[in-house]
Structure 1
Amino acid sequence: MISKKQLKELRAYRQGKHCKEEGLFVVEGVKMADEALASGWPIRTVCATEEWMAEHDGLNGDIQRWTVSESELAQLSLLRSPNEVWMLVERQYRPAIGQWTAVDVTLVLDHIQDPGNLGTLIRTADWFGIRHLVCSPDTADCFNPKVVQATMGSLFRTQIEYTDIAQWAARCKTPVYGAVLGGTPIGESALQRPCALVIGNESRGISDDVAQQLTHRVTIPSTGGSAESLNAAVAGSVLMAAIALNGL
């Protein structure tokens, strides 16, 4: 059982700053916990119901673990409906692409601010077998709880690096495609692999210094609708699909 003092100490990790300072992030729910366990990423702490603990009695002995009630779990959780287990996992930053070369397809994210969009892009990249992501420093933190939940486990199967993407793109040895308005319609563009695909900020698009490094500007053409533009996650998903299908 967990003491009130221990519960209070763990509640501090609800604050993103506290997690970041200690190099940790929060994982919640049965599916996400299973993904974390399968990934091999180091797990610091597990708080879970008696039923979950009974089903996972083979946990690594180095993991700090506490059996908690549903009400205690709710005090830790950031979810509206806490789901059996809450974890602290160590952050893993892995260089995505060696130095300056895109590996097959690299997804490059320029100032993506919305955690839901970032999580969706990571999940979609995983769906299409894109394992490498390069993010600008002002892109949302991939370990933000909302991002983690939105990835539905894909976070553990991708390699994410935060760096100066204008410099990265300038030295990239493969085509660098950028999603822009007024570019070549994707149906008319021969999307080559390997390549890098740049998705820009939700409202401002690709920043000027990154845009200067694009080798190809591509557009998803409208087919008669009246929307001004596509959501960044939707645009990225359509373009990832186009690149993936072009390689079949």
Structure 2
Amino acid sequence: MSQKKNRLKAKLFVVEGIKGINEFLDSHFELQQLFTTQDIFEAECELISDKDLLRISNLKSPNTAIALFKMPDPKPLVNKGLILVLDDVRDPGNLGTIIRLCDWFGISQLICSQETVDCYNPKVVQATMGSLTRVQINYLDIEEYIENSTLPSYGTFMDGASIYKTKLPSEGLIIMGNEANGISPSIEALVDVRIGIPRFGNLKATESLNVATATAIVLSAFKGR
């Protein structure tokens, strides 16, 4: 299940490690199969050897258990509150961290462009540390979605107005861009308010922030307004 096409065909994804598996077992996600080297789960499982676990795991140092869960059907979006929109975020670690940030800051809906990395990628699932169970994720044509949304859109740019001096709403779309290129021109044209994170260093030599780091700062500003 390390390849997206296989996950989509089977509608299954992998969760590894005791903590992560327990998070999913306690959620609405449906267990398909559980393999473990120790009989420590209440769910039905199949005991395997450490050697077998190493063979089927995506990790260099697998942690006790690996499970297959069914992908849930997408839920309809609710057009209210703060909604995070990702424009072509490609790195699994970044997406996993962003999902965890959504969980931390109470952002219940995350919208991803079709080009954004799959949220069921094993590296993404691992990085979310269970937060995937509490954040609704929809993959959409984000250009069409933003055009049709009644919520104001806030895009993050290097030359945007300081987020600390901008009046931030309790409802709106927060758009974060690609790691290398930022928000794409077609999406930029739809942004209502351009915001940015000011640089406070004396030299101001740092070119940009990691998208997950920037997301943490932006969500903190919106929630702490």
> 1:6 aligns to what?
none
Matches within 5 A, 1:64-143: 65-95=45-75, 97-98=77-78, 101=79, 103-143=80-120
Partners of 2:73 and 2:119 in 1: how far apart?
Answer: 10
Letter of the 1:231 partner, please give it.
N
Q: Which runs of 5+ in 2 are unaligned?
A: none
- Quickly say closer, same or farther: Cα 1:244–1:91, change in 2 above 3 A: same
Matches within 5 A, 1:99-248: 101=79, 103-224=80-201, 225-246=204-225
Tell me the SS of whatever aligns to 1:188.
coil
Partners of 1:85 and 1:142 in 2: how far apart?
Answer: 20
- Quickly say closer, same or farther: Cα 1:176–1:163, change in 2 above 3 A: same
Match of 2:21 among 33, 37, 48: 33
- Quickly say closer, same or farther: Cα 1:44–1:203, change in 2 above 3 A: same
Tell me the SS of whatever aligns to 1:39.
coil
Kept in 2: contact 1:44–1:88 (CA 8 A): yes
Partners of 2:209 and 2:29 in 1: how far apart?
Answer: 35
- Quickly say closer, same or farther: Cα 1:229–1:214, change in 2 above 3 A: same
Letter of the 1:20 partner, please give it.
L
- Quickly say closer, same or farther: Cα 1:86–1:184, change in 2 above 3 A: same
Partners of 1:104 and 1:193 in 2: how far apart?
Answer: 6
Tell me the SS of whatever aligns to 2:212.
helix
Partners of 1:96 and 1:201 in 2: how far apart?
Answer: 25
> 2:5 aligns to what?
17
Which piece of structure 1 moves more, 110-119 or 86-95? 86-95
Q: Which runs of 5+ in 1 are unaligned?
A: 1-12
Partners of 1:238 and 1:96 in 2: how far apart?
Answer: 28
Normalised TM-score (structure 1): 0.86
Kept in 2: contact 1:96–1:159 (CA 8 A): no
% same residue: 39
Q: 1:96 deviation in Å?
A: 5.4
Tell me the SS of whatever aligns to 1:117.
helix
Q: RMSD of the alignment, in Å?
A: 1.3
Kept in 1: contact 2:153–2:174 (CA 8 A): yes
What are the superposed Cα offsets for residues 42-100 of structure 1, whole Å, 9 maximum, x if unpaired?
11110001x3x2x32x32xxx6x3100111111111112111110001112423524xx
Kept in 2: contact 1:93–1:159 (CA 8 A): no
Partners of 2:3 and 2:75 in 1: how far apart?
Answer: 26
Tell me the SS of whatever aligns to 2:21.
helix
Tell me the SS of whatever aligns to 2:174.
strand
Q: 1:25 deviation in Å?
A: 0.5
Partners of 2:198 and 2:130 in 1: how far apart?
Answer: 31
Is the radius of gyration larger for structure 1 or structure 2? Answer: 1
What are the superposed Cα offsets for residues 132-183 of structure 1, whole Å, 9 maximum, x if unpaired?
0011000000000000001111111110000111111112112211111111
Q: How many residues align?
A: 223
Partners of 2:76 and 2:169 in 1: how far apart?
Answer: 20
Kept in 1: contact 2:110–2:137 (CA 8 A): yes
